[in-house]
């Protein structure tokens, strides 16, 4: 979409009326949609009462567009005032309008009955057997490559019963995209198009649906350690309308992901592992109060060593609490001692033969110091408040990084353990 003529409004409209809607030039690029308009008074960002949260538009083909996360790019207060607005989260209605058919915009109140979830890491988890490739060598030369595609049936891999009485059925679609270019040099392309389909017993709004989408992102990350979120979403409402949803913030991060072939489980167990993680993340996230931040916001920009330590310590503390509650027990303030004893080889890697009780006291003291005093430790001597006379731990940067790595790896081990998944720390420490 480049310099398309269109019309925009601050509310949905069924018919395009040039007297009601504002003329706009609509363009798209890798950062999102851009609207150039000559109506600053109506689309204001300076009057908080008039500030818009969404733009509803149609382009020259009468494609219904809904743009959220609106940001002003420029304003011109000349005799003919104009403005440029940008959106990096938008919805495009699929299909063409029939004669006299109403324009139907997606809104934040649209009830969603189904959505297709696309993530390039899906093919890492579930083999896409809709695409088959063969090749033949003659000596050291490649004689031919044969790539074929075939349609497969959608496979139900599980369902989730939500706390509000809804049921979400999850299907795996192993699919491909076929493109045949005739102009110029003939080109045939068959690409992977695997995706998940989520069908809802009761319709939900986009804000609620997005929570499940972000949970799916986290499940896929925990299975592959690839910091890749959903590539796109196809949303369907109860009127059989389809809307393509693009989140360009996610798309931007996607471009920086380097693929590697790692999976935390055997591929034959990938469906069970996937659903196990999805069920448990949904269950323990409700009252987590941001404790699962490292697993849900896995693609945030790197923070300081101190912040990362506090985030993983909080996550580990919360996960161990959940484990204890399942056993009918309460919080254990010395939970790290248990973690150290259960993971002796991991403990030895970072702390050698040091006593578990002393290590627990030192790590807990570091957490309390950061939380209550600050990140600066005078003379690198960490006070250890014990029942004995107070002692001081002489620390250095290596010890701080060792503590962070131990707590981080332990948090991953424990979240898998909570889901009934056994992992070897040796297999994950070098992939995190």
Q: What is the pLDDT of residues 17-74, one digit of tens each?
A: 878 888 889 998 888 899 988 766 666 655 555 677 889 999 888 899 999 998 888 7
- Would you state the pLDDT for residue 316? 96
Read off the pLDDT band of 224 (50, 70, 90): very high
**Which sign does the torsion angle of CA 127, 132, 133, 134 carry?**
positive
* Position with higher pLDDT, 405 vs 253: 405
C-alpha 11 chain-centroid distance? 29
E strand or H helix that includes residue 314: helix 305-326
Per residue in 337-396, pLDDT tens?
A: 999 999 999 999 999 999 999 999 999 999 999 999 999 998 899 999 877 778 899 999
Read off the pLDDT band of 2 (50, 70, 90): confident
The whole-angstrom separation of Cα 403 and Cα 315 is 15
The whole-angstrom separation of Cα 225 and Cα 414 is 16
- Would you state the pLDDT for residue 48? 53
Q: What mean pLDDT value characterizes the chain?
A: 87
| b/e per residue 382-397 (b: at least 16 CB within 10 A) | bebeeeeeeeebebee
Per residue in 179-193, pLDDT tens?
A: 776 666 777 777 778
Structure tokens, 167: 């049921």
Contact predicate 21/36, CB 8 Å = no
237-240 LR contacts (CB < 8 Å, sep 24+): 237/106, 237/110, 237/111, 237/112, 237/113, 237/203, 238/111, 238/113, 238/203, 239/104
Structure tokens, 116: 């297709």
> Is 202 in a helix, a strand, or coil?
strand
Query: CB neighbours of 141 closer than 8 A, spacing ≥ 6?
Result: none
**pTM of the prediction?**
0.88
Domain ranges in the chain? 4-93, 112-281, 287-429
């Amino acid at each position: 979409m480049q310099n398309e003529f269109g019309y925009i409004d601050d509310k949905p409209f069924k018919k395009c009326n040039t007297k009601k809607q504002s003329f706009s030039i609509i363009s798209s690029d890798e950062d999102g949609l851009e609207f150039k308009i000559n109506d600053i008074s109506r689309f204001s960002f300076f009057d908080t009462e008039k500030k818009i949260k969404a733009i509803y538009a149609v382009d020259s083909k009468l494609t219904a567009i809904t743009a959220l996360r609106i940001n002003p790019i420029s304003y011109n207060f000349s005799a003919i005032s104009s403005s440029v607005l940008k959106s990096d989260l938008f919805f495009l209605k699929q299909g063409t309008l029939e004669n006299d058919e109403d324009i139907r915009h997606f809104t934040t109140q649209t009830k969603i009955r189904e959505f297709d979830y696309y993530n390039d890491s899906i093919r890492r988890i579930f083999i896409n057997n809709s695409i088959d490739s063969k090749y033949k060598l003659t000596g050291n030369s490649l004689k031919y490559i044969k790539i074929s595609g075939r349609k497969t049936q959608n496979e139900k891999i599980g369902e989730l019963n939500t706390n509000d009485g809804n049921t979400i059925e999850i299907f795996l679609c192993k699919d491909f995209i076929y493109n045949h270019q005739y102009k110029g040099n003939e080109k045939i392309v068959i690409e992977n198009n695997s995706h998940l389909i989520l069908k809802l017993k009761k319709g939900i709004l986009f804000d609620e649906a997005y929570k499940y989408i972000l949970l799916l992102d986290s499940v896929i990350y925990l299975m592959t350690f690839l910091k890749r979120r959903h590539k796109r979403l196809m949303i369907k409402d109860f009127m059989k309308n389809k809307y393509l949803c693009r989140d360009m913030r996610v798309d931007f991060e996607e471009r920086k992901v380097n693929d590697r072939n790692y999976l935390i489980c055997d591929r034959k167990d990938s469906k069970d592992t996937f659903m196990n993680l999805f069920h448990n993340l949904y269950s323990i996230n409700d009252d987590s109060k941001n404790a699962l931040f490292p697993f849900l916001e896995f693609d945030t920009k790197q923070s300081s060593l101190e912040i990362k330590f506090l985030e993983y310590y909080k996550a580990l503390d919360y996960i161990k609490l959940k484990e204890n509650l399942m056993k009918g027990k309460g919080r254990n303030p010395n939970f790290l001692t248990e973690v150290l004893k259960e993971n002796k080889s991991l403990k030895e890697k970072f702390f050698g033969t040091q006593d578990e009780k002393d290590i627990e006291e030192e790590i807990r003291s570091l957490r309390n110091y950061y939380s209550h005093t600050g990140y600066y430790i005078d003379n690198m001597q960490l006070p250890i408040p014990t029942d004995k006379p107070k002692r001081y731990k002489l620390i250095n940067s290596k010890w701080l990084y060792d503590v962070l790595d131990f707590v981080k790896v332990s948090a991953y081990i424990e979240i898998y353990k909570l889901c009934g998944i056994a992992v070897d720390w040796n297999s994950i420490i070098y992939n995190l």
